[in-house]
Homo-oligomer: A and B are copies of this chain.
Amino acid sequence: MAHKDVVNVGMIGCGFMGKTHSFGYRNVNPIWDPPVKAVMKCITGSRSRETCQAAAQSYGWQDYEADWQDMLQRDDIDLVDIGTPNFLHHEQALAAVEAGKDILCEKPLAMTLAEARQMTQAAEEAGVKAMCGFTYRQAPAVRLARQIIEAGEVGEVYHWRAVYLQDWIIDPEFPLVWRLDADTCGSGSLGDLAAHLIDMALLLVGDIAEVSAVLETFVKERPLVAAGGGTGLVDKRAAGQKGQVKVDDAALCCCRFANGAVGTFEATRFAQGHKNGHRWEINGSKGSLAWSLEDMNYLEFYKAGEGNRQGFRKILATEGDTPGWEAWWPAGHIIGYGELFINEIYEMLCAIAEDRQPAPSFRDGLKCQAVLDAFTQSARSKQWVPVPPC
């Protein structure tokens, strides 16, 4: 796909991810001046032709298709971006591979480990570039954390602790929207939130050996909503009635990593006061690192051995040589959530130009899926469950 100056993008998804990914494509060229330029060729993904057309106009796509399968058949599409609900990833990604397209697929990669494995194998065998959208890896502060770890400044890792705290469904009258629907999403806080934490852990600590997890649903029934919420599904549910909540409100876990470190995970939508509270910390023999998504421009770094001057440094990760910051503003002029998509797409374009897999790849998505699967099994069996190698 990379033997051209441009990459023609076809976006599947007109909802929240359609909006954020469009923000990414619209700005990646002027900000990063990538080796191949993104062209916002076509958007599709919603049930209605009108919605697709409106999305194209609003978000700045040249064209639209009412049916995503039509878009995949077009020769003028190089990269397919899948920003749809989880249950559609498998089918759409396989179809994109089949059509020979490069792929950027939102996380979690799939509904099941089997699906994720099939998608990864298909993409790798076809030799297409396949990225899994763990966007938070692209924060400069996270990339700086990785740089510090790789330089050995954290030493041997002993501890990982990570939480992803939100509070948007505490009200029991909050309806059973598609994000709470097991058929659409497969899980609740697990795939939506814990998946991000797991990807971070795999990136920064390494493979997880085994887990002991809890999945909890605090509110067992919620009001049904009539509409399908942009999922592309015909909704058979009736408003005014209640439906059973089959996904988790919260996911907790203790784990052991392959390298001997131990860790904890917690993801929940029931933590009052936390809007997007993704936080993690690593403790090693030589230092510690901590990061919070709500303060994403900062990295906290503790370096042992500085005597009575030692303390966590609050690094504003906006220096000219902070990885992932190079093209941004002068130091101290922070970036936000939307900019992470710009960075993510820049990584994808570089991978295409350099004929390599992007980071994170489908295989990274698969590794995360294996841990999600182990969480689920462990929560059901109340046993420690090993994570299979991927």
Interface residues of A (CB under 8 A from B): 16, 19-20, 22-23, 26-27, 29-31, 33, 58-60, 144, 147-148, 158-159, 161, 163, 165-168, 170, 212-214, 216, 218, 250, 252-254, 256, 260, 262-264, 266, 268, 270-277, 283-288, 293-299, 301-304, 306-319, 321-322, 329-339, 382-384
Contact = CB atoms under 8 A, between A and B. Distances in A.
A272 B316 CA distance: 13
Given A22-B30, A314-B312, A260 B218 contact: yes
Contacts of A213: 254
Contact of A218 (B16, B158, B277, B333): B158
B308 A313 contact: no
A26 B31 CA distance: 12
A212 B316 CA distance: 33
Contacts of A253: 254
B273 A294 contact: no
Contact of A308 (B294, B309, B322, B329): B322
A335 B337 contact: yes
A157 to B, nearest CB: 10
A33 B147 CA distance: 40
Contacts of A285: 170, 272
Given A58-B29, A252-B254, A312-B313, A283 B276 contact: no
26 contacts: A23-B27, A23-B31, A29-B58, A158-B270, A159-B270, A212-B214, A213-B254, A214-B256, A214-B262, A218-B260, A252-B264, A270-B283, A272-B284, A273-B312, A275-B331, A276-B332, A276-B333, A277-B332, A294-B297, A294-B334, A308-B317, A309-B315, A311-B316, A313-B313, A313-B314, A336-B336
A273 B283 contact: yes
Contacts of A158: 170, 218, 250, 268, 270-271
Given A262-B214, A334-B337, A310 B302 contact: no
A20 B330 CA distance: 11
A281 B48 CA distance: 45
A316 B256 CA distance: 31
Given A271-B158, A334-B294, A315 B321 contact: no
A331 B148 CA distance: 26
A308 B315 contact: yes
Contact of A314 (B163, B266, B303, B314): B314
B332 A159 contact: no
Given A212-B212, A266-B161, A286-B272, A334 B332 contact: no
A106 to B, nearest CB: 15
A9 to B, nearest CB: 15
Contacts of A315: 308-311
